[in-house]
Structure 1
Amino acid sequence: MAEPCPGLALRFQRRFLAARPLRSLPWPELEQSLRTAPDSALLADILHKTILHPLCVKYPPSAKYRRCFLTELIKKLESTAAEPLDELYEALADVLKEEEESTHCYKNYLLPSGDCVSLCESTALISGGTTGLLTWEAALHLAQWALQNPSLFRGSQLGENLQLNGLSPEPDGTWSPQTESQGQEGEGQSCQTPKVIVAELDWGSVTEKQLLPLRADVVIAADVVYDPEIIVALIGMLQKLSTSRADRKAPEVFIASTIRNPATYQLFQAELDKAGIRWQVIPSHSSCNFLCDVQPDVTILQLFV
């Protein structure tokens, strides 16, 4: 027997594993399919490609997300004349048995190459008095642009996400002016496995001497233009990155932003002009491997520092 609606199950899989908003999953298509052929085999296929998928078992979305997803699947099942699906109820029971909601969850992004990027994120919008502990839309747009321009990147993540994706941070997990990060290159290698460092960088106080060991070729940032008070410090740090290079070759700089406050974003552009930094808008893409919704208020600027 042919697999029921494989395309539909895979669309559920990609969005579920990435923990995209439940409303964005293809529920109307599922309802239509069940009305045409009320068969629990389709729901079983979706269940195995989502909740029971090895990635979900190892790196699960939040319990609340999984609970709501399973509840919705059960509603779809019970609205048809399809045979009951015990696996579906058992999966919900397993999620309900989890003692407490974890402070962390995972998002798994399936790439066209067949690889996966797994990210560990905080379930709280604000944690420890700060934001930025989860993936923002501008970061997804920037990641999609990076996929379309692979020659610029060797692929690095932060913190625990380095290890989730097979990368190794420096032993002490810190950076100082004495440490460097270089790719491990070898003849005949089609790709490189980089050494990666995770470091705190104070834009306002960092010096050119401290930046020199980084030897940055490409600078990418997402959702960093949100507060007027940090814009001048950000631009100053980018200028120092440019002048600190021994070869005086400026790094390529790409900044993705969700324009929440047009006045703040216009201030950023005005300060760039004042500093003599040229910039141009990178054309937006029509699709996203990271399942980001195409939004008119997300933009990527290339800076010429």
Structure 2
Amino acid sequence: MAPEDHEGATSLLQSFERRFLAARALPSFPWQSLEEKLREPSGSELLLAILQKTVKHPVCVQHGPSLKYSRCFLSKLIKKPSGDSVTLSESTAIVSHGTTGLVTWDAALYLAEWAIENPAAFTDRTILELGSGAGLTGLAICKACYPRAYVFSDCHAQVLEQLRRNVLLNGFSLELHTPIDSGSPKVTVAQLDWDEVTSSQLSAFQADTVIAADVLYCGEVTLSLVRVLKMLTDCQRKKAPDVYVAYTIRSQDTGKLFITELDRAGIHWEEVAPHTGKLFPYEEHSAIVILKLTLTGRHGV
């Protein structure tokens, strides 16, 4: 970074820090200057630095502004790199109504960031998400990657109810027939139990791309996921869908069983290269990986 560029970024950071600590009105922040800086290669680093100087500032951690103010600030900040924002209703408890699907987990945020940097993997495609949870990843893809259709799925009634609310909250329709010229993908929310779903039901989705995030939290669920992937392999299609699975490595066993079962099923896998931009304030030291799966042929290792 040239000295003058570094000086400009430092000045911008100070301006954001002072206004945020003083809880100034959001329109008074130098948003236009930020947009100009974000066009530079170091734009993602600048966003992270702004988070450190505002919502993650030591003073704010202990004596921060109101939660409403912080949320409004983050919403406006997220709009700058992506051109839009995602509004989400979720539970404040990690486990609620007997499920962990009512909150957003780190790998879902990580996969959303990767998708925004790699829109070609989703543009003009039909996407099936397995275990959508609160729906953040899918909503980000629908807004930033222009899919043709998007299917949110989960098995828990409370999660499905919240998913429908979040889809509508973000301006998408759940009508069966979305006009082709509407500019929005056709969005549906489907009940999908991995232990009961059939190959014909999966085939009916006609998915070009399948994704899942933070669903490898126990061995039983991991085995159920591989069962679904094997059925997708067997579906009568001209071309098997691309599959991306993101998960947080919480222990050595987190992904070990998954990879072992993929190899046993003859499903090729490869780790996707990390993306460069960070848009969401998840745990910085989380070890998160994304695997791209090929549903034909055996892994060569």
TM-score exceeds 0.5: yes
After superposition, the Cα gap between the structure-2 partners of 1:239 and 1:70, relative to the gap in structure 1 and judged at 3 Å, is closer
The answer to whether the 8 Å contact 2:90/2:102 transfers is yes
State yes or no: 1:236 paired with 2:218. Answer: no
Give the whole-Å Cα distance in 1 for the aligned partners of 2:284 and 2:81: 18
TM-score, normalised on structure 2? 0.62
Matches within 5 A, 1:134-173: 134-153=103-122, 155-156=141-142, 158-170=163-175
Taking only the aligned residue pairs, the percentage that are identical comes to 41
Partner letter of residue 48 of structure 1?
A
State yes or no: 1:118 paired with 2:87. Answer: yes
State yes or no: 1:209 paired with 2:200. Answer: yes
Give the whole-Å Cα distance in 2 for the aligned partners of 1:256 and 1:230: 14
Taking only aligned residues, the RMSD between alpha carbons, in angstroms, comes to 3.5
Give the deviation of 1:239 after TM superposition: 2.1
Give the whole-Å Cα distance in 2 for the aligned partners of 1:239 and 1:131: 25
Deviant stretches of 4+, over 4 Å: 41-44, 68-71
Give the whole-Å Cα distance in 2 for the aligned partners of 1:116 and 1:42: 20
Unaligned runs of at least 5 residues, structure 1: 11-29, 34-40, 51-67, 75-90, 96-106, 172-180
Give the whole-Å Cα distance in 1 for the aligned partners of 2:286 and 2:242: 24
Matches within 5 A, 1:190-209: 192-209=183-200
The match for 1:267 is: 257
Give the deviation of 1:6 after TM superposition: 4.8
After superposition, the Cα gap between the structure-2 partners of 1:251 and 1:295, relative to the gap in structure 1 and judged at 3 Å, is farther
Partner letter of residue 262 of structure 2?
L
After superposition, the Cα gap between the structure-2 partners of 1:264 and 1:170, relative to the gap in structure 1 and judged at 3 Å, is same
Partner letter of residue 281 of structure 2?
L
Give the whole-Å Cα distance in 2 for the aligned partners of 1:204 and 1:42: 49
After superposition, the Cα gap between the structure-2 partners of 1:113 and 1:141, relative to the gap in structure 1 and judged at 3 Å, is closer
Unaligned runs of at least 5 residues, structure 2: 1-10, 28-58, 124-140, 143-151, 153-162, 296-301
TM-score, normalised on structure 1? 0.61
Structure with the higher fraction of residues in helix conformation: 2
Give the whole-Å Cα distance in 2 for the aligned partners of 1:167 and 1:153: 17
After superposition, the Cα gap between the structure-2 partners of 1:165 and 1:263, relative to the gap in structure 1 and judged at 3 Å, is same
After superposition, the Cα gap between the structure-2 partners of 1:250 and 1:8, relative to the gap in structure 1 and judged at 3 Å, is farther
Larger radius of gyration: 1
Q: 1:128 aligns with which of 65, 76, 97?
A: 97
Give the deviation of 1:245 after TM superposition: 4.2
The answer to whether the 8 Å contact 1:169/1:197 transfers is yes
The match for 1:276 is: 266
How many aligned positions are there? Answer: 217
The answer to whether the 8 Å contact 1:216/1:241 transfers is no
Give the deviation of 1:246 after TM superposition: 3.5
Give the whole-Å Cα distance in 2 for the aligned partners of 1:296 and 1:127: 23
Q: Render the CA deviation track for 1:23-42: whole Å, top value 9, x for unaligned.
A: xxxxxxx5xx6xxxxxxx67
